[in-house]
Structure 1
């Protein structure tokens, strides 16, 4: 049994050390952040970025500016994703699988609203093989009729039918906010007639527009810049410099509009409240702190947590909620996402708006502000350590003409956030138009007007 005296001494020791190590901790944060940044260069017309993690494995990805916001027809991004790592001019799909398994590698393809990602994870000594494979996939894939009908279209249909209420609500919120472009859903809805727009020929044409040197970035986590460039130069030589297909990317700039959509759905309900947020190219640290203050599920399992949404969800059975800023190249969407039984979702939505109004009135305590800044700092640093997140962020920024994310600068900017800046940020959101999406039991879920939101 631990004595009260020993516990008190330990607590006192921790407190005494806290002030002595404050400066050292800040330096550690900055060092860790700067050490986790990607270095970028141009290799034979291809944007290349790498980060040396000094580990035994490497993650390598081709990030193409071919997410759903750029597709000229619905379903093309998903079609291109599903054709990845199938038959090429040099290898059959079976050979790709067998060779990758023999090397212990893992392959996957996925997409965001702005990027299509082809990723390989492997032992770092196998960098030459997987660099060659990714180059081959984007420049020599066969878009065959039988694979489209037997595999690609079937998988697209399955994904259409497995969309959750929250996925549908997020898509609806984006559609209300931006209409087209960023407003395009991540996956086509179940009622979208994919066969009208997508076939092996249209996907092949979209590939010619997406897979060009100016439209891709090659990003590695766990490789040196020199080591990566050595293999990118010969293997990506065959990637075309410009598009030769009949389809062009939809490059219309994002324009925020706002609005409301309501969709009936059988099962758990979802509700999304969104406002114009911060884009990837903007420095708005107060938005990150506001998202941390609203928060969501507590990081401490036996505690409700200090965040506004965590407290609201704790009083609503089976409800879950969290806030986040979704940053895109030319726009941002600050979202409050709520899921659960319709009655619980309604209660949390009402309390979330009241909490946001409380922040806008300046009622945030100094302690809660300190906790929110610390949480925002942790979220940024921990996210930068996740290879998948870092690769997508670095690659997307490069293909958009920007620079790779500078984590140290982002973390340092959080120190400038004050209670007054947080108040102004919340008030700005509430004064503007919201984008609201309700999916589920529409008899219970509130309208935006019921919450006092302007759409």
Structure 2
């Protein structure tokens, strides 16, 4: 006769065996599904409109117009931001109130945002309502009324609020400054007009309407769907995008040049330092830069521990500062950044150690274990972002508009898996041997110069 203890132990062993079996199965499934087909965009041309779609067979759909209308292409400061604020306001057919009420009755969500290269108009809704929202997006880009009263009462007011918010955000100011010294014009333009830039003379309803006319054309946009079939999206695109102009005046598309340099801005609201180098573009993806970003990291994946990333360890040893590394990808350029914010003394110490860590990677000191972790983290970050929909519509649309090819996560994962220690070492060496872009905002007495960090600008 078996005792309760023996039975309990037997049950525990059986449970552990089942758990081990399930874990092995999961590992096998993960390896097989590293680039699932549901992540791949199908592309087509529908009546002159570039269309990309993927279907996860879920109950909801996201649909976005990605226009080549980011701050890189604006002829004057503030036009992209103002055009974003005019989205989903009065059109020739519907008032802004009607658009809001109809979207709410259907349970939909509308949003607009911009980057340095793109202006995105996005709708999220129940799958069966794709006809309504396809029609609405086409209407917004072809029939919006750029009225004087809406500009004076709403658009200009919101721009001034965002200018004031930017003036108090030292991290955003530092990142804008890093772009400015890295690229000068084009990608060097700030995301929002500088707090010291007057809107009068640069932005009004007539200039916004003229800018809209130059960027809202079939040749300059992509329509991206997530959670829709190619057949359905093509059907409604063909029907509702007839009124969108086929082409318009070409936007400024001068190729990007990287310069490097240094910028220092005194500020009483905090401290932020950005150390940047030429990075990876989505036109020419460099997987070793993605792995380098994952290795430097800045945030732990394990609670109550700094984790394996180099910047998280450095920040843990210098209380009062937070640090992170990321690659900002654009169509023909990229900016690999290390951003550090916090108390001035801690920012100084952390930046010194961060540069030492980068130089150590360039000397080939990364262990095999850390390289394996970094590759796995880079893959996870890419897949998790694509699975959750974070920036996926933007990436797919930007790729389609600028290069004729959407960002495909499957290709990214395959290239990341091919990163070796030698490739990582070469990538880091190219950065530290080249010209950096360094931007400091805050207490300039304490924040270091690029030369003090051992960087060339």
**Could you say which TM-score interval applies, normalised by the shorter chain?**
over 0.9
Matches of 1:197 and 1:5 in 2, distance apart?
77
- Asked if structure 1 preserves the Cα contact closer than 8 Å seen for 2:283 and 2:403, the reply is no
Matches of 2:21 and 2:10 in 1, distance apart?
16
Tell me, what secondary structure is at the counterpart of 1:236? helix
For 1:132-151, what aligned pairs fall within 5 Å after superposition? 132-151=135-154
**TM-score, with normalisation over the residues of structure 1?**
0.94
Tell me, what secondary structure is at the counterpart of 1:237? helix
1:259 is matched with which residue? 261
CA offsets per residue over residues 397-428 of structure 1, 9 Å max, x none?
Answer: 11113311221121111222111111111110
**RMSD of equivalent CA atoms:** 2.0
Which 5+ residue runs of structure 1 have no aligned equivalent?
none
- Asked if structure 2 preserves the Cα contact closer than 8 Å seen for 1:272 and 1:337, the reply is yes
Which of these residues, 305, 308, 316, is aligned with residue 306 of structure 1? 308
- Asked if structure 2 preserves the Cα contact closer than 8 Å seen for 1:68 and 1:182, the reply is yes
How much has 1:24 moved relative to structure 2? Answer: 4.4
Residue 113 in structure 1 maps to residue 120 in structure 2: no
1:328 is matched with which residue? 330
For 1:165-176, what aligned pairs fall within 5 Å after superposition? 165-176=170-181
Which aligned runs of 4 or more in structure 1 are off by greater than 2 angstroms? 3-25
Which of these residues, 390, 393, 400, is aligned with residue 402 of structure 2? 400
- Asked if structure 2 preserves the Cα contact closer than 8 Å seen for 1:65 and 1:115, the reply is yes
CA offsets per residue over residues 233-275 of structure 1, 9 Å max, x none?
Answer: 111100011226xxx5221110000001111112221111000
How much has 1:317 moved relative to structure 2? Answer: 2.0
Residue 198 in structure 1 maps to residue 200 in structure 2: no
- Asked if structure 1 preserves the Cα contact closer than 8 Å seen for 2:62 and 2:124, the reply is yes
Pair 231,452 (structure 1): closer, same or farther in 2 beyond 3 Å? same
Pair 344,397 (structure 1): closer, same or farther in 2 beyond 3 Å? same
Pair 55,12 (structure 1): closer, same or farther in 2 beyond 3 Å? closer
How much has 1:373 moved relative to structure 2? Answer: 0.6
How much has 1:200 moved relative to structure 2? Answer: 0.3
CA offsets per residue over residues 111-143 of structure 1, 9 Å max, x none?
Answer: 011100011111111111111111111000000
How much has 1:56 moved relative to structure 2? Answer: 1.2
Pair 228,442 (structure 1): closer, same or farther in 2 beyond 3 Å? same
Matches of 2:48 and 2:418 in 1, distance apart?
39
1:362 is matched with which residue? 364
Matches of 1:356 and 1:336 in 2, distance apart?
10
Matches of 1:427 and 1:12 in 2, distance apart?
47
2:5 is matched with which residue? none
1:69 is matched with which residue? 72
CA offsets per residue over residues 342-363 of structure 1, 9 Å max, x none?
Answer: 1111111111100001101111
Matches of 1:280 and 1:377 in 2, distance apart?
16
Pair 415,66 (structure 1): closer, same or farther in 2 beyond 3 Å? same
Tell me, what secondary structure is at the counterpart of 2:34? helix
Tell me, what secondary structure is at the counterpart of 1:254? coil
Matches of 1:199 and 1:75 in 2, distance apart?
10
**TM-score, with normalisation over the residues of structure 2?**
0.94
How much has 1:19 moved relative to structure 2? Answer: 7.5
Residue 130 in structure 1 maps to residue 144 in structure 2: no
Residue 389 in structure 1 maps to residue 391 in structure 2: yes
The 10-residue stretch of structure 1 (266-275 or 11-20) with the greater mean CA deviation from structure 2 = 11-20
Pair 409,7 (structure 1): closer, same or farther in 2 beyond 3 Å? farther
- Asked if structure 2 preserves the Cα contact closer than 8 Å seen for 1:37 and 1:404, the reply is no
How much has 1:101 moved relative to structure 2? Answer: 1.1
Matches of 2:339 and 2:9 in 1, distance apart?
44
For 1:48-447, what aligned pairs fall within 5 Å after superposition? 48-163=51-166, 164-243=169-248, 249-447=251-449
Which 5+ residue runs of structure 2 have no aligned equivalent?
1-7
Matches of 1:453 and 1:11 in 2, distance apart?
53
Tell me, what secondary structure is at the counterpart of 2:234? helix
